[in-house]
Amino acid sequence: MTPVELSRTVLRAMRHAVDAGELRGDVAAVGEGRVRVERPRPGGCGDYATNLALQIAGAAGRSPRQVAEVLSARLVVEPGIAGVDITGGGFLNITLAGAPGEAAEALVRDVLERGRCYGHVHPDTGQLAQIHVPHEVRAVVVADSVRRILRSQGVLVRVTCDTAPDPAWTRAAGEDGLGVRVDGHGRPPEPLPTLRPVPAPADATLRLGRDAARWALLHPAAHDHPRVTPEQGGDAHLVQREGNPLFRVRYAHARCRSLLRNAADLGFDAVPGDGDIEATELLRRIEAYPAVLAAAARHRAPDRLARHLVATADEVLALQGAVLPLGDEKPSAAHRARLALAEAAGTVLAGGLTLLGISAPEHL
């Protein structure tokens, strides 16, 4: 069972408890949407944990512990769940059935099946979002990326600007533009929540080119000053070295694609399974990607996604030396599994870069 499937299972258990009268009906609105499941924190146990019982306890009119007991009784009979323990004030700690490597294998299969749509919400939720920005290059680029991320979460989005954005901001990458999309301009008749990140000089931003410019504006948090001018060190975003986070992310993606090509030359392909190596942190990064997208959408913060991609890329670069056979070594099931993990990681990197409006080349 993948984390996404487990999240749906927990949500289904809550709904069934409501239908059976074990929980009050108004808790459904509190817990509606994707239930967050994560690796247990210190003091926890099992494979995954969720704080859903604490979230809905107030609406249920019961203690978190009592809610957790109701949910636990329903979860333990679900296929794929071996046991449920209640810890702390009402955390549900879930142990999955199956061998230790099965959860990792299922996660990799899920990513490969969904491709760049891994972590996306389908179908649309019916939610609507209006994003308004001042006529400022960083605000427009941030809004464009937030629009992409919100769409990935099933939200319909409209982006407006005080005045018409400069043509260079909306031109496509092949036309030396930043590739942003704005749906309308003009001051709204009623005040709207406005995205106002720390601004950046437009001329210095454009000279970096689309990919580096967008990264320079999106990687820092909205309240941090972006580095775009030469005096600020903006040219560091163009350097093809490990010290440049954008280079590491794009290079890690290109390496994943290269590993697949090299494996094909050696006569084997990717098959999810037990890679027989310590790649726990990379698996956790891949597993956390849907939650990162949800948080980036909720907080209108593409910098959260950018930082997650950097951390994922670093784990990919640490793994790459163990993927292909060395010397006269023959390709094994472990090599195929590692290759599948690398392919899944590359898929996450490519999907994340696309949501930031940045290209993910296969050769770098």
Local confidence band at 129 (pLDDT 50, 70, 90 cut-offs): very high
Cβ proximity of 248 and 258 under 8 Å: no
pLDDT at 101 over 70: no
Rounded to an integer, what distance in angstroms lies between the CA atom of residue 162 and that of residue 258? 45
pLDDT for 190 equals 76
Local confidence band at 192 (pLDDT 50, 70, 90 cut-offs): confident
Q: Domains of the chain: which residue ranges?
A: 3-98, 245-355
Cβ proximity of 36 and 291 under 8 Å: yes
pLDDT at 33 over 60: no
Rounded to an integer, what distance in angstroms lies between the CA atom of residue 172 and that of residue 48? 43
Share of the chain above pLDDT 70, in %: 93
The two tokens of residue 69 are: 């007991």
Task: Return the DSSP state at 158.
Answer: E
The DSSP string of 6-36 is HHHHHHHHHHHHHHTTSS-TTHHHHH-SPPP
pLDDT at 345 over 90: yes
Lowest mean pLDDT of 37-41, 116-120, 198-202, 239-243, name the range.
37-41
Q: Residues 347-356: pLDDT tens digits?
A: 999 999 999 9
Q: Residues 323-334: pLDDT tens digits?
A: 999 888 899 998
* Domain 245-355: CATH class, spelled out: mainly alpha
SS3 of 283-330: HHHHHHHHHHHHHHHHCCCHHHHHHHHHHHHHHHHHHHHHCCCCCCCC
pLDDT at 42 over 70: no
The two tokens of residue 206 are: 């454009």
Residue 203's Cβ-count burial label (10 Å; 0-12, 13-18, 19+) is exposed
pLDDT at 199 over 90: yes
The β-bridge relationship of strands 156-161 and 184-185 is parallel
Contacts of 252 (CB under 8 A, 6+ apart): 312, 313, 314, 316, 317, 345, 346, 349
Lowest mean pLDDT of 76-90, 105-119, 200-214, 237-251, name the range.
76-90
- How far lies 271's CA from each of 167, 253, 254, 266, 284, in Å? 46, 19, 20, 15, 19
pTM for the full predicted model: 0.78
Architecture of domain 3-98: 2-Layer Sandwich (3.30)
Top-confidence range, 9-13, 75-79, 253-257: 253-257
Rounded to an integer, what distance in angstroms lies between the CA atom of residue 324 and that of residue 302? 34
pLDDT at 2 over 80: no
- Report the pLDDT averaged over residues 332-348: 94
pLDDT at 99 over 60: no
Q: Taken in order 66, 71, 77, 83, is the CA torsion positive or negative? A: negative
- Report the pLDDT averaged over residues 29-46: 71
Which has more confidence, 291 or 160? Answer: 160
Q: Residues 146-186: pLDDT tens digits?
A: 999 999 999 999 999 999 999 999 988 667 889 999 999 99
